[in-house]
Structure 1
Amino acid sequence: MLTFLPISFTSGLSASVEINSDKYPAPDWVLKAIFRGPSSFELTSDPSGSIHILSATATASASWLAGVYAVSLRAYSGDDVFELESGQCTILADISAAPVGHDARNHAQKTLAAIEAVLESRASKDQESYSINGRSLVRTPIAELLSLRATYKKEVAKASGFGRGTKILGRKIKVRM
């Protein structure tokens, strides 16, 4: 779990993180954030009084490939090296580099659309399975597709933030007229 570093950065944008460590103060210590994943890079701190500043220009971050990275934040002083924290960090793709026609939907949105397309095409078909000349086709039962659809609808709604703020004082109030 990361506490000093954010859980995500966006490639192609400037990044800056200030870290204040009483145990490893600047300028006596230098911090390095080591990223390993789809690409490999490191951020080295610059001192600002006793505070460490890890930063990257937009030009430097443009080379970061999108994906999930293992990250280790380490303090260096002479031959001493200590790890302050480690975890995972996501590098998000730079939207300005996305091609025309880029599908910005997340996994849940794409999967929900695929399930709904299957349900729509199945509306006119009544067989769940059949065989012709020794070859067989078995379709996913509609009840299972409906269950998957409900699951992915919830996931899409959760990711979209729908339903937030609908509760007053933490509880639903139902009214019948």
Structure 2
Amino acid sequence: MSYAFPKKITAGLTFRHSINLTAYPASIWSITIFLRGATAIDITAAKDGNLHIFNVPADTTKNYKAGHYGYSLRATDQNGNVEEIEAGAIEIISDLASLSDPIDSRTHAQKTLAALEAVIEGRATLDQEHYRLNNRELWRTPLTDLIKLRNQYRNEVAREQAKANGQNIFGKVIRVRLG
């Protein structure tokens, strides 16, 4: 059972999240999220009626180290019984306002697409796919394979951009009228 704990937290921003757990009412249970990754972070929820409220100020989250973390959402009752409600993965994203050094914020697909296009461009002037020099051989990836990979990454980048712009990630919608 998933309680839709966020998959990302941005360092330097206030983190707010509330959970209504009918099986773990706030009057009896306290809820803590344990994050383990680049550092250890423990966040205990405050109680508001039967809601469990996570509220971490920006002054605290600004010290969170970016990276991928595992998490365990746990409930503890008044008798010391502990139950894991949910476990999974979460990402802490760097606060862009705190970064002063240049960064490459492109996705993996964008970086790979640029690298493939650079290789294809460089290969446009080379005609050998394979050659031997002093008992050493060099095999180049066939141009057809590079183009196939480039097209695959172009599609992935287009899906990422569509998703970022709130568009349909599967492309155009084709409406059909029956009858």
Alignment match, 1:114: 115
Alignment match, 1:140: 141
Q: Which runs of 5+ in 1 are unaligned?
A: none
SS in structure 2 at match of 1:64? coil
TM, length-normalised to structure 1: 0.89
Query: Aligned equivalents of 2:80 and 2:101: distance in 1?
Result: 50
Query: Aligned equivalents of 1:4 and 1:27: distance in 2?
Result: 21
Alignment match, 2:16: 16
Query: Aligned equivalents of 1:66 and 1:20: distance in 2?
Result: 28
Question: What aligned pairs does 1:1-177 form with structure 2 within 5 A after superposition?
Answer: 2-77=2-77, 78-161=79-162, 164=167, 167=172, 170-171=173-174
Which whole-Å deviations, capped at 9, do the CAs of 1:91-120 have from their partners, x for residues lacking one?
111111333421110100000000000000
SS in structure 1 at match of 2:174? coil
- Whether the aligned pair in 2 keeps the contact of 1:2 and 1:88 (CA below 8 Å) is no
TM, length-normalised to structure 2: 0.88
Query: Aligned equivalents of 1:101 and 1:120: distance in 2?
Result: 26
- Whether the aligned pair in 2 keeps the contact of 1:31 and 1:44 (CA below 8 Å) is yes
Q: Which runs of 5+ in 2 are unaligned?
A: none
- Whether the aligned pair in 1 keeps the contact of 2:3 and 2:19 (CA below 8 Å) is no
SS in structure 1 at match of 2:65? coil
Count of aligned residue pairs for this structure pair: 171
User: Which amino acid is 2:134 matched to?
Assistant: N
User: Which amino acid is 2:104 matched to?
Assistant: D
Moved over 6 A (4+): none
Residue 69 of structure 1, CA deviation: 1.2
Q: Percent identity?
A: 38
User: Which amino acid is 1:109 matched to?
Assistant: Q
Residue 2 of structure 1, CA deviation: 4.6
